[in-house]
Amino acid sequence: MDQSSSSSFVDTSLDLTIGVTRMRVKEDSTTSALVDELNRVSAENKKLSEMLTLTCENYNVLRKQLMEYVNKSNNVTERDQTSPPKKRKSPARDDAVSSAVIGGVSESSSTDQDGQYLCKKKQREETVVKEKVSRVYYKTEASDTTLVVKDGYQWRKYGQKVTRDNPSPRAYFKCACAPSCSVKKKVQRSVEDQSVLVATYEGEHNHPIPSQIDSNNSLNRYISLGDYMAPAKGSSSLAEPVTESKKVTSPSRIDIPEVQKLLVEQMASSLTKDPNFTAALAAAVTGRLYQQNQTEK
Amino acid sequence: KDKSASELREELNRVYSENKKIKEMLETVCEKYYALHHHLE
């Protein structure tokens, strides 16, 4: 029995085929593997597509939020700059405070004036609501924490604020030289350098420089030399940023020759005080004379 | 089911290529998203 049962498991086939069946089996297994791989990659593809769609949606939502936030902060800034102060003091008190502040800073600036140096002026004139906006950088002492810039005009402070997103305090001023003048000024310390005050002017003065201010009040004096603002030390007349004097557009109210004379005096004074300019001028003159002598010979 | 192995390979290559493109796009969008998020923070 055992022998007969064992003999029944012996493969007695001769296997005379030419291998077509084996190849077919191999091909079938390859095809099924390919199909599996295709299914797997397609599923992965689908997941990735879903992730991409989701991420794009999130990105767009975030971008929209950012745009809204930026617009909102811009609107708030504009509103703060244009709206009148909520708690306004009486004009007399304002003038007193203003003059007191001017006096205080004048003293400090007179001692610090030598320390104030050429400061680069980045005048970026932006057309915002048809108003000229200029930005002037003033160098101050690091210990000076006031937000007062002496530019020759009288200003009435009407606000100061600090926000979470912009912790650097900024003060808002309005020109007090003439009631009809609508020039506003924002003063803020530079983020990069705390000793630099950034004054942003909006609008155009419709009046001349206040001539009643004494020339020896040691206000900060700046003249524009191309892209730079240079302090005009000890000039005999009150100076103002040339950028602002250029913006004056009502000649009927302003004595133009007087302003020009003032500017010329100021520039001459500042240039003659500048040792570099004197040296450069001397070098130029001597060079010219030397050339003339050479040609005559 | 009726596709041959070569056709399947061709299809698979196409899906691989598509997959790669989607991954690149996803990477770009993720970078932009995180940059924006960082900027907002």
Sign of the C-alpha dihedral computed for residues A280, A281, A282 and A283 taken in this order: positive
- Contact A38/B23, CB-based, under 8 Å? no
Question: What is the count of residue pairs from A and B with beta carbons less than 8 Å apart?
Answer: 56
Report in angstroms the alpha-carbon separations of B33 from A49, A129, A233.
17, 33, 53
Among A229, A208, A232, which residue's Cα sits nearest to residue A221?
A232
Q: Tell me: the pLDDT tens digits for A237-275?
A: 444 444 444 444 444 444 556 666 666 666 666 666 666
Q: Which of A68-77, A82-91, A132-141, A190-199 is predicted least confidently?
A: A82-91
Q: Which of A8-22, A90-104, A168-182, A259-273 is predicted least confidently?
A: A90-104
Report in angstroms the alpha-carbon separations of A177 from A153, A206, A217, A271.
7, 10, 17, 29
**Residue A59 with chain B: CB contacts under 8 Å:** 29, 32-33, 36
Question: What ranges do the domains of chain A cover?
Answer: 43-72, 133-210
Q: Which of A100-109, A138-147, A166-175, A206-215 is predicted least confidently?
A: A100-109
Rounded Cα–Cα distance for residues A24 and A47 (Å): 34
Mean pLDDT of the residues in chain A: 65
**Residue A30 with chain B: CB contacts under 8 Å:** 5
> Which range has highest mean pLDDT (A60-64, A109-113, A241-245, B35-39)?
A60-64
**What's the confidence (pLDDT) of residue A97?**
37
Rounded Cα–Cα distance for residues A227 and A229 (Å): 7
- Contact B36/A52, CB-based, under 8 Å? no
**What's the confidence (pLDDT) of residue A13?**
65
Rounded (5°) CA angle A78-A80-A86: 155
Rounded Cα–Cα distance for residues A242 and A139 (Å): 17
A4 or A195, which is more confident = A195
Rounded Cα–Cα distance for residues A220 and A112 (Å): 10
Rounded Cα–Cα distance for residues A239 and A219 (Å): 9
Q: Which of A29, A31, A53, A57 to mutate to probe the B interface, most B CBs <10 Å?
A: A31
Q: Which residues of B touch A (CB under 8 A)?
A: 3-5, 8-9, 11-12, 15-16, 18-19, 22-23, 25-26, 29-30, 32-33, 36-37, 39-40
Report in angstroms the alpha-carbon separations of A78 from A75, A202, A247, B39.
5, 11, 22, 23
**What's the confidence (pLDDT) of residue A263?**
67
Is the pLDDT at B27 greater than 80? The verdict is yes
- Contact A41/B12, CB-based, under 8 Å? yes
**What's the confidence (pLDDT) of residue A287?**
64
B6 or A86, which is more confident = B6
Question: What is the ipTM, given to two decimal places?
Answer: 0.88
**What's the confidence (pLDDT) of residue B20?**
93
- Contact B12/A48, CB-based, under 8 Å? no
- A180-186 long-range contacts, Cβ below 8 Å, gap at least 24? A180/A206, A180/A207, A181/A205, A181/A206, A181/A207, A182/A206, A183/A153, A184/A81, A185/A149, A185/A155, A186/A81
In this prediction, what percent of chain A has a pLDDT beyond 70? 45
A41 or A79, which is more confident = A41
pLDDT band at B13 (very low <50, low <70, confident <90, very high): very high
Minimal Cα distance from B6: which residue of A?
A31
Q: What CATH number is given for A133-210 in this structure?
A: 2.20.25.80
**What's the confidence (pLDDT) of residue A277?**
65
**Residue B8 with chain A: CB contacts under 8 Å:** 31, 34-35, 38
Q: Tell me: the pLDDT tens digits for A174-199?
A: 888 877 788 888 888 877 777 778 88
Please name the member of B3, B16, B19 whose beta carbon is closest to the beta carbon of A48.
B19
Rounded Cα–Cα distance for residues A61 and A220 (Å): 49
Q: Which residues of A touch B (CB under 8 A)?
A: 27, 30-31, 34-35, 37-38, 41-42, 44-45, 48-49, 51-52, 55-56, 58-59, 62-63, 65-66, 69
pLDDT band at A205 (very low <50, low <70, confident <90, very high): confident
